[in-house]
Structure 1
Amino acid sequence: MNLARHSISSTNPIHVLDARFDPDCKIFTAATPAGFAVYRASPLKLIRKRELTGGTLAAVVPLHTSNLLFLVGGGRSPLYPPNKVVLWDDALGKEVAELEFREKVRGLACRRGWLAVALRRRVVVFEVGEQVTRYGEWDTCDNPQGLLAMATAPYSTLLAIAGRQMGHVQMVHLPRCPLPMFSGPPPSSPPLKPPPYPTKPHVSIIAAHTTALTTLSLPPSGKLLATTSLRGTLIRIWDSWTGKLIKELRRGTDKAEIYGVAFRPDEQEVCVWSDKGTVHVFHIEVSNRQSSLSGLAPFIPLPKYFDSEWSYAQYRIPVQSSHISLSSTTRSSIVDAPDEERCVVGWVDVSADNSTPSHTTPPKYQLVALTYMGGWYRLSLPDPEQSAKMASSPSLVSGTSASPPKSMPAVPRTSSGSSTVGRVEKGKERDREKKAKVTTQCTLQEFRRFGRWDGWG
């Protein structure tokens, strides 16, 4: 008996229409055909649920950990018209306002006091207080996914939206995000001082990719920007202040649909997940794994592949058929059944889960992955010292010397380019084999289910 496997249940599979974290990854929301619920992200706990009749929701967006949620109808039987955003106060258990547009709502992003709504070719921003007032509007290129991202840390200002040209990103600066309101005693640490306003204007456009964008991501501070494109092989990290490219990370060599990118709150690492069912983790401040032939780049013109930085840790989300039994009858009865690999990933501070947290204890981050089949995975990362040592020492990856040969000629002495091409192709094959051997896996610490509200959510 393999005790590490999850037990197989004969219950109907959970059908999650939408799952997303709040900006601080302290809670997450889940929309199902029965309604929606709010969970604590880690440790997993059902906080509250709302059973709704008459239709389904396409999105339930939490405004931090407040009682305010933004609801968008969707599916085959929408609860609200898809061109409306409904402001729901869960303390009152009812709608308090609604925003109506002339077209379908494509995406939402929010922070304290602000809401951004992405439409097909424009983004509209609202200030949310005692009343909801329109602040501004910006044109974009064709944006069917409704891509946008908003910085949420105190005093942050950045809103990143699709540019007017394909593959470009517009940087919009809103009024500063206020400090969170504390209902209990004030914190012992002194309040954050607002940074001075810049004397020079920020960069307003970043030409991130030559193909259409698929994700836009910001850390809470808004100092960095992550972008991906339709090719799905590269993740680019930008300095949002200067528009300078900081990192170019490689998810893989085959085309994939990247679902999302999430920065660790301290901006030291980033995780990426895609339709391949894998979660990749990269360093930002230090170098990641590279090809064993990357050291030869100054001497031999090598393809861009060999300069790529690869993830230092991965995790593959198991298909849900290994957790629950799916009969053909059950499959056919599900409306709009999601892909088994579809997921969303966030960073959680597990040191804050202790009953007596210490202010001197540095945060310890883990990953929580939510699948649209109702799986909650808590993943721990490899030892940081070991992974940093592996990333900084090519000899650990390739088994060869970290420095290139000193007497390497600038041009290989061959009668034709065929031998050079052959060596490059063989080098790629060796790199793939060695990367497969040294890739460090994230460790599954806990697996549970969410989306059902009958006692085992």
Structure 2
Amino acid sequence: MNTHTPLLNGGEKGSKILSVNFNQDQGCFAVGHENGFLVYNTNPIDLRVKRNFSNSNRHHLHSTSSSSAATSSSSVSSNGQGSGIGHVTMLHRTNYLALVGGGKNPKFANNKVIIWDDLKRKNSLNLEFMSPVLNVFLSRIRIIVVLKNQVLVYGFLAPPKKFATYETIDNEYGLADLSSNTSLNSKEPIHKDHTKYQTLAFPGRSIGQIQLVDVSPAGQEKNLVSIIKAHKSKIRCLALNRSGTLIASASETGTIIRIHSTYNTALLYEFRRGLDRAVITSMKFSHNDTKLAVLSDKNTLHVYNVSPINDSSNKDSDSIINNSHSNDKKTPTNRHHLLNKLSIPIPIPNYFMSTWSFCSVNTSKYHTNKIDDGNNNEHLNDVGTIGWAGNDSIIIIWKNKRIWEKYVIVDKQSSNNTHHEASNSNGNWEIIRYSWKSLDSLNE
């Protein structure tokens, strides 16, 4: 039985979270806030690094009672440069992080990317641009910088060398994703040499388009760009799987999720989130690429089954659209409307022919969306960021509520829910909120 820390109450003040990002294997996540940044282990949740850029020269290390490993904590003199970190990106579990200033009193200018060496507690590299930096991605050999109308690729060198610049449509949310190319348990390598590739995805130059490029050394030499016409409306959210073989996307409408092959740009799956418009705030594939988790501003978490695809280059893409069935009884099956299975000699609207998530839960039942920040201001439509702690465990970090939650996908027939909270279920599967904790380190 997990020990739960009470959630933050509406009247409790705390340092405002400015960004939340998981690392490449989703085993850690970094939080940028008004006074610095924090790094946590994902599961079990455990504070690992705390950097406070406030006006203090204190510097110390201490151990936490919840872990035998040391948690690094320090306050670093800001020298009048401010303290807010508006964006933080981890490089796996190394001592290098990409930082961008933000908040009311930014530590760095918002048009600069600082590669921070946390071992030496100093800047290692920096890049400066003519416009604000909206997103940053790191690999061991690449630094990817996302601006409003450009995506730039640099070598992770001293000084950084620019390899490519890609023009995009107005991308005010800094949408992009970079495959991690870590080892997989999945049996679906669409390309035999996919481990030699590193896929970068970002909005194209026209509405609804996605650009795909290979930023590996071999890919940079070929300089090939693939274009996917994914939606009729502007792209609002996108996510690559770990191997970079699948790209999931949602438009501003937020009713349909589409998954394309990055190898041949074929449409593989089309899933329905709902009928009403919604903003998809976060999407993430599971570690083994068999599930896709989707979170919207309606606070509903959907999980879709993505069947293994052995070699899409040898398959008719039309034959696997909406296909989510398996001979394995323990494999979740995405839901369909009853009319989808009936032979009716009249046209049926696409809504009734849609494929739905195999399980979902509205997280609003566990916490209110109204937060008092100490100034009697209420924040609505909190933004949650998704990560996977395993192939059946989903983590959500909420920025305004400053809480961590773990949801577990269980088989209703074999689960014992006597010690769990009530859940929302579809078919034979359901999502249980298993544990939760306040990010109280921001208030210390």
TM-score by length of 2: 0.75
Corresponding position: 1:153 with 2:181: yes
Equivalent of residue 406 in structure 2, options 370, 373, 378:
378
> In structure 1, what is the Cα distance between the partners aligned to 2:120 and 2:440?
22
2:433 is aligned, of 423, 430, 444, to 444
Shift of 1:296: 3.4
Task: Give distance in 1, aligned partners of 2:364 and 2:5.
Answer: 11
Corresponding letter in the other structure for 1:244? A
Query: How many pairs were matched up?
Result: 366
Contact 2:83 2:105 in 1 (8 A): yes
* TM-score in terms of structure 1 length: 0.73
1:63 corresponds in structure 2 to 91
Instruction: Report the counterpart of residue 384 of structure 2 in structure 1.
Output: 343
Corresponding residue for 2:109?
81
Alignment match, 1:34: 35
SS in 1 for 2:441: coil
CA contact (8 A) 2:282 2:294 kept: yes
| Alpha-carbon separation, structure 1, partners of 2:155 and 2:412 | 41
1:368 aligned partner: 395
Aligned to 2:321: none
TM-superposed CA distance for 1:71, in Å, is 0.7
Q: 1:313: how far off? A: 1.4
Displacement, 1:95? 1.2
Match of 1:266 in 2: 288
Which of the numbers 245, 249, 257 marks the counterpart of 1:227?
A: 249
Aligned identity (percent) is 28
- The superposition leaves residues 147-189 of structure 1 with CA deviations (integer Å, 9 ceiling, x where unpaired) of 1111111533211121111111111112269xxxxxxxxxxxx
Alpha-carbon distance, 1:23 to partner: 1.4
CA contact (8 A) 1:14 1:374 kept: no
Asked whether the equivalents of residues 203 and 240 of structure 1 are also in contact (C-alpha less than 8 Å), the reply is no
Corresponding residue SS for 1:293:
helix
Relative distance call for 1:454 and 1:166 in structure 2 (3 A) is: closer
Larger Rg: 1
In the TM superposition, what is the alpha-carbon distance from 1:139 to its structure 2 partner?
A: 1.1
Q: Which amino acid aligns with 1:332?
A: N
Instruction: Find the aligned partners of 1:369 and 1:273 in 2 and give their Cα distance.
Output: 9
SS at match of 1:253: coil
More helix by share: 1
The one-letter code sitting in structure 2 at the alignment partner of 1:446 is: S
Question: 1:293 is matched with which residue: 324, 339, 359?
Answer: 339
CA contact under 8 A between 1:168 and 1:208: conserved in structure 2? yes
RMSD (CA atoms): 3.1
Unpaired segments ≥5 residues, structure 2? 55-81, 183-195, 308-323, 326-333, 416-423
Match of residue 244 from structure 1? 266
SS where residue 274 of structure 2 aligns? Answer: coil
Deviation at 1:252, TM superposition (A): 0.8
Flag the structure with higher strand content.
2
CA distance change for structure 1 residues 90 and 201 in 2, over 3 Å: closer, same or farther?
A: closer
Which residue is equivalent to 1:91?
119
- Aligned position for 2:303: 281
- Contact kept, 8 Å, 2:257 with 2:273, in 1: the verdict is yes
| Cross-structure match for 2:318 | none
- Give the Cα separation in 2 of the matches to 1:316 and 1:167: 28
Q: Which residue of 2 aligns with 1:313?
A: 359
In structure 1, give the amino acid aligned to 2:18: L
The AA in structure 2 aligned to 1:374 is R
CA distance in 2, matches of 1:207, 1:265: 26
> Given residue 36 of structure 1, which amino acid in structure 2 is its aligned partner?
F
121-130 or 273-282, larger mean C-alpha shift: 121-130
**Alignment-mate amino acid for residue 23 of structure 1:** Q
